[in-house]
Amino acid sequence: MSKRIAVVGAGVGGLSAAARLAHDGYEVDVWEKLPQCGGRASLLAEKGFRIDMGPSFVLMPGFYKEVFDYCGEEMADYLDLRALETHYRIFYPDGTRLNVYGDPERTKAELERIEPGSARGYDAFIAETARIYRDVEPLLYKCFTLKDLANPALWPLVTKLRVWENVWQLACRYFQDERLRYAFVFEAMFIGVSPFQAPAFYSIITYADQVQKVLHSMGGMYQIPLALERMAAKFGAKFHYGAEVKGLRGDGDGVVLDFGKDQFRADRAVVNADYAHTQGDLLQRRLPHWKHSCSVFLIYWGLKRKVEGLEHHNLFFSGDLPRNMAEIFDRKVIPADPSFYIHVPTVTDPSLAPEGKDILYVLIPVSNLDGSADDIHAHEQRLRQLVVDKVKQVCGVDVNELIEVERTFYPQDFVGRYNVKYGATFGLAHSLLQSAFFRPANLDARIKGLYYTGASTQPGGGLPVVMASSRIVADLINGKG
């Protein structure tokens, strides 16, 4: 067996691949550009605040558990994942509020308040998305190639997964009130795609957050990469931080990583760095006309005291969602009236801030940098003020007077910090023609021994699915794929 494996990137994809392969007995070296692990799931630690910079929702916990099971470890020895009682609170521009709970009966009571009779629609919606979930879940552990299109066993999926429908159209079949339709489609934005364009099968994310619960990682989301790093190290993986790979090339049966001055040869390389960056910058290949996900503008606040009125997860919808989405995905301008999200992890986990203080993390979806017509910096004060005003409406306080720490993160920072092409926060877009067979495969067609894991490869973005991509890679390397 070829023993030496290089992993490029210590994001969740690279860390979980490293853990699996080290467990399987390979000699694993992880090379990461940043001084620490986590990639897009990074941590901002300042003045006693521990602010997660990226993911905030733990969904589909079975995919997390699978990584630990694979390595013969107990997830509970590494992570303390706790289900939230209130999954999230939605604030509509007309003043309506909707709480989505872990208990579906309580959620249905909320829905009935807005659209009488909608509890029945909710049950039917969940039944349909559960069926889609059952069909899709096993596919998330497989690497497809265009050749699979010729496999008749897969053809029934076209109808089963209703590939001609988008998540918005699916929700419209079950809910009449636009506010409820919005409530059951916004999850498409978790993978950076418009609900008016995301194929209906991505409603599995809505199913997951309704039925499988929304969890929080106690101690913060950064515990997740730390746990994977610890597990990989336990099996002998070695980590090299501050080590940016500048080029990759095949070398007989192996792959060479080029660091500029130094080189490292491995029998296999698993690249977790953004796929478009890898193809364009590391392999010097011409990039096809890919569509990229949206980007986000982030504001992180550490507050001097707690505020009332917000839940752990809070969504604020634009007064005109179709226009908001068109601005981000079609017109590529900074939204006039954006939807946004506020994460207040200190509601569940006060340990993340000094005693009596709060964290507010604000995420505003904006267009990526591929042909963007606007400069975020020209709009950031307006966007910030809009959030300050909404927080004042909801919490009755001027957040400006409470700020102890403030940091911002722009689309350009995704390029500079993580090498993510066009600052597309969630990687390649999850459009129909960039999903499954059409999404980049987890192994290179030209260089033997070169594999890919991460958000822009199969099966796609989001922590659980990225973890599944590392399973695909481990299976391919072990000759089981």
Ligand X SMILES: Cc1cc2nc3c(=O)[nH]c(=O)nc-3n(C[C@H](O)[C@H](O)[C@H](O)COP(=O)(O)OP(=O)(O)OC[C@H]3O[C@@H](n4cnc5c(N)ncnc54)[C@H](O)[C@@H]3O)c2cc1C
Interacting residue ranges for ligand X, rule: CB under 6 A: 8-14, 31-34, 39-41, 54-57, 59, 190, 244-245, 272-274, 277, 296, 298, 363, 418-419, 425-426, 454-455, 461-463, 466
> What is the smallest separation between the CB atom of 426 and ligand X, expressed in angstroms?
6
Closer residue to ligand X, CB minimum distance, 10 or 28: 10
Nearer to ligand X, 325 or 468 (CB): 468
| Smallest separation, CB 56 to ligand X (Å) | 4
Among residues 73 and 274, whose Cβ is nearest to ligand X? 274
Smallest gap from Cβ 84 to ligand X, in A, equals 13
Name which of 126 and 271 has its Cβ closer to ligand X: 271
**Nearest distance, CB of residue 417 and ligand X, angstroms:** 7
Q: Which is nearer to ligand X, 220 or 462 (CB)?
A: 462
Residue nearest to ligand X (CB): 11
Minimum CB separation of residue 126 from ligand X in Å reads: 21
Strand partners, 217: 81
Q: Which residues contact 203 (CB under 8 A, 6 or more apart)?
A: 129, 132, 167, 170, 171, 184, 185, 187
41 or 347, CB closer to ligand X? 41
Nearer to ligand X, 11 or 459 (CB): 11
Q: How far is the CB of 465 from ligand X (least distance, A)?
A: 7
- Which helix (DSSP H) or strand (DSSP E) does residue 22 occupy? helix 12-23
User: To 10 degrees, what angle do helices 104-114 and 118-136 make?
Assistant: 130
- Write out the two tokens for 222: 């950064």
- Taking residue 269's Cβ as centre, other Cβ atoms within 10 Å add up to 27
- Least Å distance, CB 85 to ligand X, is 18
Least Å distance, CB 94 to ligand X, is: 27
* Residue owning tokens 């997390």: 64
Of 111 and 215, which CB lies nearer to ligand X in the complex structure?
Answer: 215
Contact 228, 19 (CB under 8 A): yes
Phi, psi of 35 (to 5 degrees): -75, -5
Beta strands 268-271 and 4-8, pairing class: parallel
Least distance CB 298 / ligand X (angstroms): 6
Q: Which of 306, 307, 317 is nearest to 394 (CA)?
A: 307
Identity of the residue, 302 or 427, whose beta carbon is nearer to ligand X in the bound complex: 427
Q: Quote the CA–CA distance of 11 and 335 in Å, as a whole number.
A: 30
Instruction: Write the Ramachandran bin of 65: left for phi over 0, alpha for psi from -120 to 50, otherwise beta.
Output: alpha
How far apart (Å, rounded) are the C-alpha atoms in residues 222 and 15? 13
Distance CA 29, CA 240 (A): 7
On whether the CB atoms of residues 344 and 311 are closer than 8 A, the answer is yes
Which is nearest to 217 in space by CA: 359, 55, 104? 55
Least separation, in Å, of the C-beta of 10 and ligand X? 5
The smaller minimum CB distance to ligand X, of residues 298 and 405, is found at 298
Which CB, 175 or 414, lies closer to ligand X?
414
Q: What is the CA radius of gyration of the chain?
A: 22
Phi then psi for residue 448, to 5 deg, are -65, 135
Pairing of strands 313-316, 86-91: parallel
Nearer to ligand X, 170 or 296 (CB): 296
Query: By CB neighbour count within 10 A (0-12 exposed, 13-18 middle, 19+ buried), where does 219 fall?
Result: middle
Which one-letter DSSP state was computed for residue 270?
A: E
DSSP annotation of 281 reads I
Closest approach of ligand X to the CB of residue 158, in Å: 27
Q: Nearest approach, Cβ of 201 to ligand X (angstroms)?
A: 17
Contact 193, 108 (CB under 8 A): no
3-state secondary structure of 349: coil
Alpha-carbon distance 297 to 381, whole Å? 12
